[in-house]
Amino acid sequence: MEFTAEQIAGILNGVVEGNPTASVSGLSKIEEGVPGSLSFLANPKYEEYIYQTKSTICIVNKTFEKNKELPGTLTLVRVDDAHACFAKLLEVYSQMTKKQAKIEEQVHIDEKAILGENLFIGAFSYISAGVKVGKDTTIYPQVFIGENVTIGENCTIHPGAKIYNDCKIGDNCTLHAGVVIGADGFGFVPDEKGVFSKVPQIGNVVIEDNVEIGSNSTIDRATLGSTFIRKGVKIDNLVHIAHNVDVGENSAMAAQVGIAGSTKIGRSVMIGGQAGISGHITIADQTRIVAQSGIPGNVRKAETLMGSPGIPMEDFKKSYFGFRKLPYILTKLQELEQKLKSLTKE
């Protein structure tokens, strides 16, 4: 699929500088550009590459000023925000390359399932009784969808995803390969002998609109009620969200985050990779949690937390400076103790 500089400028409301008929059929980083590819320049750290790139077209900010001669084969498309426009172009490309409507062979669809128009359902997928799937949704091969699941419009469910019974997924959601939605929460109660009995998990998971969940992440069903992933949430790969958690709108978390049961994450919270959050606590709106931090208690106001247990980042930096000096401090303390003993004897 080819695009000309003129077409790209039209999509992005940009201005062509160079050959408007120059065409591209692929994408590449500016430092790895090849003929026939499209790149973008937003970060000044990469500006040096634009003077030697072999890309055919490059998206740049309107404020970009040349310091020397550009390659003669390079055409620029000037836009207000190069990074945002490149992302928009990727979205357009993704939509254009989306699977065409089709139900492949060897798919099981229960007669009580209700399917919308213009669906793609890949081979070896299993659609259970009572399932409702909205129009323009793509379900790749080997997906399991349990009884009474609802999936909205324009969703993409990648290969091998599993959605257990009674869960609800909104519009414009993406579940990547291996995602598990609605597995049992970790509910066990020990008796007087320490033997664990399972607590039935009879709730569900509710995922609202415009949510994306990365590969091999798992979101547990509620013991009672629902585990909620609110509108606009973005979840990276290998994240675990436990039963009855409520993740607020437009929050984001990086890989290997773990959130224990019944915790409420506020709106627009950002959580770095490998952070762990205890159960039955509340995290305030717009909180920032640095990677590998541990949060054992409530966060009542928005701040950036670091360390385990997490404390305000500036306090952590000061504490860490002291920690690094600890061997030196201990040596000096021992020397002072020896001097004090000598003085006492004298």
Cα–Cα dist 6/227, whole Å:
47
Closest CA to 119 of 107, 136, 143: 136
Cα–Cα dist 218/162, whole Å:
10
Q: Report, as residue numbers or ranges, the catalytic residues.
A: 243
